[in-house]
Amino acid sequence: MKKNDLKSMGKSFTKYILIIGALLILLDFTFHRHEYFSFAEIYGFPAFFGFVSFVFIVMLGKWLRKFLMRKEDYYDQ
Amino acid sequence: MISNFIPGLIMIITSFLLPTIPQYFRHPAMLLSVGLSALSLFNGYGTFLEWDILGLNLILYQSDSLTLPFAIIFHIAAVLVIIFSWHSKNLMEHMATLAYAGSAIGALHAGDFFSLFIWWEATALTSVFIVFAGNTNAAKDAAMRYLIIQVSSGVLLLIGTCLMLYQTGNHNLVVLDLKTNFGIFIFIAFGIKAAFPLLNGWLQDSYPESSVTGTVALSAFTTKLAIYALARTFPGTDSLIWIGAIMTAFPVFFAVIENDLRRVLSFSLNNQLGFMVVGIGIGTELSLNGTVAHAFVHIIYKALLFMSMGAVLYRAGTTKASELGGLYKYMPFTTIFCIIGAMSISAFPLFSGFVAKSLIMSSLGGMGMVLIYFILFFASAGVLEHSGIKIPYFAFFAHERKNKFKEAPINMLIAMGIAAFLCIAIGVFPKYLYQILPYTVDYQPYTLDHVISQLQLLVFAIIAFLFLVKFKLYPSEIRSTVLNSDWFYRKMLPGIGKPLFKKIGILTESLYKNLGLSFKQVLSKSYKFSNLSYIKVTTPSFAGTILISILFIMLVIVLV
């Protein structure tokens, strides 16, 4: 097996996911997406919501480490 | 005849007979007992067994449209666990697992609170041996804490039941509310097992300490039994909507920073329970169907994810993300099964999570609950983060690995394969799942709006992940302990209690001295009590003292 299998896999995965993402956004322009709440019908709203939520979760989680993270043997001390 | 037995009872009887059965026949015998128990699924609805004792009418075996889907999935889960543990020779764990699954199935068929209480405690007492079978010091400590919490839940249920019988003369499983004191006791009892916010510490504490196979068994029954009990007795209780919404959102942040992947899955389990609790809180036919459907598919994909991490633990000896990665080359089948579980829990279209979660989301949307709807939508991105990406990424990819590992044993692959098949089959043909739900369903999950909306959310959340990794913003895994609500009884209370007891000891000693009492024995005992080494309270017993005190105070309040 090649050494950089994982790297090339990552690259092609990124490429395909970006293509799918672009198609999903383009698809949004071709029909009217019905949602329960009118503001969610804005073009690409779920995509935007997904992206922002994900970044927010990771960033807030990272920040919470300051308060919640202890050494591995914390409870054994 | 055997189909008129209480479902699950045959499994408990078999579990006690297991030591007499030769090793090679134990697993077939376990499977056979599950099969015999499953015959009861064909009995239809009704009350099949009652028992008049001490002036009480116990309904030991009843079945209806809410019982059936849970009974089906509990039997399936039992089969999966047995196949997954086929290689194991741990007799205690096998006995505990079979009796635990049998107790959970028995509990589903209880028609009154006293019968439910007996099964409720039976699940606690049997499952603690599964945690115990983790066979490490950490597992043994966790097992003691687990037992205290689980039994406390049972005691609260018993108090609530006695109060209910005293005040209403009725102890049947009926719909309750939070306006009565017994309703509150029973609600908290269920809430402990359903891992409500701040009552959830036991789950993330004990599950990851169990063995390779034990965690799979634990993940299936206790919490879903609590969901069933809540759905039966508290449908439409408004506070459950908020409790559930908090449950979906908060564990997400803990899962991001947790290093042990089985603990990540335990946080994820908590988040999934939140969706079900919201469904119960809404209390409409659609939402209750959603809760049941979600519990059904969740048991399968969560078991699949725990099985894949169990296989990793079995081969690599750890599930710490900081020490894993690159296993895809050596465990390709496990990798694929894990990804199928990850896609199911993330609710990708054509996977089981999608067809179940949609019911709950649609009922929220239909009711116009905009805030809760978007909290759950947000939590869906969180599910993708911790279970959809983090689990497979850190275990199987992340970086190349030089030392080689074997693929999981064949029995594990078969169990994972069955679960993976069910995840896809239910996702592609949801009508078979919808047919067994409590209420008649006229629901189509695969509308273009819905599919595109969900795909946009998920795909762009993945793009966010790639973006964060690319710019090195994604947090690296660090060996650590993440504080959770069990901190209160593992650190805070002993932190206050130990010095307090020491001070009381010293005070008592000086009091005796000042009073000039010459009870030498008393003095020496008191001296010993004030000695730090004597005072060293182990966490489980200390937590037990506190919990029992709290229960006692609550009992006094009620009696007054």
What ranges do the domains of chain A cover? 5-71
Residue B39 to residue B16: CA distance in whole angstroms: 21
Q: Where are the beta strands (DSSP E) in B382-461?
A: none
* Residue B505 pLDDT: 87
pLDDT(B56) > 80: yes
Model confidence at A48, pLDDT cuts 50, 70, 90, reads very high
End-to-end CA distance of chain A: 45
Residue B76 to residue B555: CA distance in whole angstroms: 39
Sign of CA dihedral B264, B266, B271, B276: positive
List chain B residues with CB under 8 Å of A8: none
List chain B residues with CB under 8 Å of A17: 459, 462-463, 466
- The answer to whether residue B448 neighbours chain A at the CB level (below 8 Å) is yes
Number of A to B CB contacts under 8 A, please give it.
Answer: 155
Residue B457 to residue A50: CA distance in whole angstroms: 4
Residue B386, domain member (yes or no) = yes
Which residues 27-66 of A are in CB contact (within 8 Å) with B?
A: 27-28, 31, 33-37, 40, 44-55, 57-62, 64-65
SS3 B477: coil
pLDDT(B452) > 80: yes
* Percent with pLDDT over 70 in chain B: 92
Residue B230, domain member (yes or no) = no
B339 and B410 share one domain: yes
Q: Kindly provide the ipTM of the predicted complex, given to two decimals.
A: 0.94
pLDDT(B501) > 90: no
Candidates B145, B320, B452: best to mutate against A (most CBs of A within 10 A) is B452
B100 and B174 share one domain: yes
* For range B347-359, the mean pLDDT: 95
Chain A closest-CA separation from residue B373 CA (Å):
10
* Residue B538 pLDDT: 47
Question: Phi and psi dihedrals of B50, rounded to 5?
Answer: -125, 160
* Residue B512 pLDDT: 75
DSSP string, B479-510: --EE--TTHIIIIIHHHHHHHHHHHHHHHHHH
- The answer to whether residue A2 neighbours chain B at the CB level (below 8 Å) is no
Q: Tens digits of per-residue pLDDT, B7-40? A: 999 999 999 999 999 999 999 999 999 999 999 9
Report how many domains make up chain B.
3
Are B91 and B18 in contact by the 8 Å Cβ rule? The answer is: yes
Q: Please tell me which of A33-47, B44-58, B158-172 the model is most confident about, judged by mean pLDDT.
A: B158-172
pLDDT(B527) > 60: no
pLDDT(B350) > 70: yes
B413 and B549 share one domain: no
List chain B residues with CB under 8 Å of A72: 479-481
- CB atoms A72 and B479 under 8 Å: yes
- Higher pLDDT: A2 or B358? It is B358
List chain B residues with CB under 8 Å of A55: 464, 467-468
pLDDT(B479) > 90: no
Q: Tens digits of per-residue pLDDT, B136-160? A: 999 999 999 999 999 999 999 999 9
Residue B252 to residue A60: CA distance in whole angstroms: 10
B169 and B288 share one domain: no
pLDDT(B423) > 50: yes
Q: Tens digits of per-residue pLDDT, B199-220? A: 999 999 999 999 999 999 999 9
* Residue B534 pLDDT: 44
Q: Which of B266, B193, B217, B10 is nearest to B93 (CA)?
A: B217
List chain A residues with CB under 8 Å of B319: none
B369 and B387 share one domain: yes
B373 and B454 share one domain: yes
B540 and B446 share one domain: no
Candidates A18, A49, A67: best to mutate against B (most CBs of B within 10 A) is A49
Which residues 375-394 of B are in CB contact (within 8 Å) with A?
A: 377-378, 381-382, 384-385
- Higher pLDDT: B109 or A69? It is B109
* For range B460-467, the mean pLDDT: 95
Residue B433, domain member (yes or no) = yes
pLDDT(B229) > 70: yes
B191 and B337 share one domain: no
Using the CB atoms, write b or e for B23-53: b if 16+ within 10 Å: eeebbebbbebbebbbebbeeeeeebbeeee
B209 and B256 share one domain: no
Average pLDDT, chain B: 90
Q: Tens digits of per-residue pLDDT, B31-47? A: 999 999 999 999 889 88
- The answer to whether residue B371 neighbours chain A at the CB level (below 8 Å) is no
* Residue B535 pLDDT: 44
* For range B411-418, the mean pLDDT: 97
* Percent with pLDDT over 90 in chain B: 74
Are B135 and B112 in contact by the 8 Å Cβ rule? The answer is: no
B135 and B280 share one domain: no
* For range B305-328, the mean pLDDT: 92
pLDDT(B523) > 80: no
> Containing domain of residue B82, as a range?
1-222
Residue where a domain stops, chosen among B201, B222, B243: B222
Give residue for tokens 């007492």: B125
pLDDT(B407) > 50: yes
Q: Please tell me which of B252-256, B316-320, B425-429, B492-496 the model is most confident about, judged by mean pLDDT.
A: B425-429
Residue A8, Cβ neighbours under 10 Å: how many?
10
Residue B227, domain member (yes or no) = no
Q: Please tell me which of A6-10, B267-271, B501-505 the model is most confident about, judged by mean pLDDT.
A: B267-271
Residue B434, domain member (yes or no) = yes
Candidates B318, B449, B453: best to mutate against A (most CBs of A within 10 A) is B453
pLDDT(A1) > 50: no
* Residue B355 pLDDT: 96
Which residues 452-481 of B are in CB contact (within 8 Å) with A?
A: 452-468, 473-475, 478-481
Quick one: closest CA in B to A44, which residue? B456
Residue B247 to residue B101: CA distance in whole angstroms: 25
Residue where a domain stops, chosen among B485, B520, B541: B485
Chain A closest-CA separation from residue B425 CA (Å):
24
Residue B490, domain member (yes or no) = no
Residue B272 to residue B295: CA distance in whole angstroms: 9
- Higher pLDDT: B471 or A1? It is B471
pLDDT(B105) > 60: yes
List chain B residues with CB under 8 Å of A29: none
B299 and B385 share one domain: yes
Candidates B369, B384, B390, B457: best to mutate against A (most CBs of A within 10 A) is B457
Model confidence at B533, pLDDT cuts 50, 70, 90, reads very low
Q: Where are the beta strands (DSSP E) in B33-133?
A: 46-53, 56-63
Residue B274 to residue B278: CA distance in whole angstroms: 6
Model confidence at A69, pLDDT cuts 50, 70, 90, reads confident
B262 and B152 share one domain: no
List chain A residues with CB under 8 Å of B368: 36
